[in-house]
Structure formats: C-alpha cells, structure tokens
C-alpha cells in the first residue's frame, strides 16, 4: 500500500510539473496586447486637455483668417479662433481674457476692468427735527 501511494504521489507531481511547463510556454507564445487599444485612450486624453486662460492685450488680429495674439503678463500667445469665437468685436489694443486649449481659443471676452476704489461716502445728513404738533 505504501508503494502504491508513493507511486501515485510521484505521478501526480510529474503531471503537475508538465502542466506548469505547458502553461508557461503558452504564456510566452501569447501575443502582446494590441497597441491599437491603447491609442484611443491617448487620443481621448489629448481631446480632454485642460483649457488655459490668458488675460492681456491683443497684439495682432486677423479676423478674416481667424487668428490673433494676446500679450499676457508672462508671455504672448498665438491663437486661432474657435467656431464660436467672433473676432469682429475686437481690435488691436483691446484687453481680453481668452480661454484656449492646444492653440485654439474657445472663448474670448473683454477683460473686466479693475474695480474703481470705493469712495468714502459722506455720512447721511441727520433727519430734520419733526415739526411740533399743533396745540388744540
């Protein structure tokens, strides 16, 4: 009985080694995942690039070509007007805020002017004393 059990264990062990060796060869022979699946993810990431905002003065403007440049505090940005952007409302020297991504402006609006400093308001004049009630 002990010999039979030892033989059974030896055969099981040899069979398990064979199965593992075949599985390892199949894993090596399996083709790598197609890179085509990875590309759409990259394209989607490129489409979803975070928009940037620049506030500055329009340095150059070609409404017919749909191009303009905005000089901000740190840099000058060359932009192409997007589908919804109308450059006809602007001229060189205007202060604008442009939202853009990958060189295409999606929104251009006139820059908000700095709020005028609050003037000190004079204290309201005291109310005139009430007229005395007529005596009866």
Q: Which residues of 32-43 are buried (b: 16+ CB within 10 A; e: fewer)?
A: eeeeeeeeeeee
- Interval 34-70: pLDDT, tens: 555 555 555 555 556 788 899 999 999 988 888 999 9
pLDDT tier, 130 (very low <50, low <70, confident <90, very high otherwise): low
Q: What is the pLDDT of residue 115?
A: 45
With beta carbons less than 8 A apart as the criterion, state whether 97 and 111 touch. yes
Helices (H), 1-136: 2-29, 35-47
Residue 116 reports pLDDT greater than 70 = no
């Amino acid at each position: 009985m002990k010999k039979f059990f030892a033989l059974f264990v030896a055969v099981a062990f040899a069979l398990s080694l064979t199965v593992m060796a075949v599985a390892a060869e199949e894993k090596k022979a399996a083709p790598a995942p197609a890179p085509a699946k990875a590309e759409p993810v990259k394209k989607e990431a490129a489409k979803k690039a975070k928009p940037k905002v620049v506030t500055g003065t329009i340095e150059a403007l070609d409404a017919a070509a749909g191009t303009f440049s905005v000089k901000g505090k740190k840099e000058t940005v060359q932009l192409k007007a997007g589908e919804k952007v109308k450059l006809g409302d602007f001229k060189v020297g205007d202060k604008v805020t442009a939202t853009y991504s990958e060189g295409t402006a999606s929104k251009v609006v006139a820059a908000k002017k700095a709020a005028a400093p609050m003037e000190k308001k004079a204290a309201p004049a005291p109310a005139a004393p009430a007229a005395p009630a007529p005596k009866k």
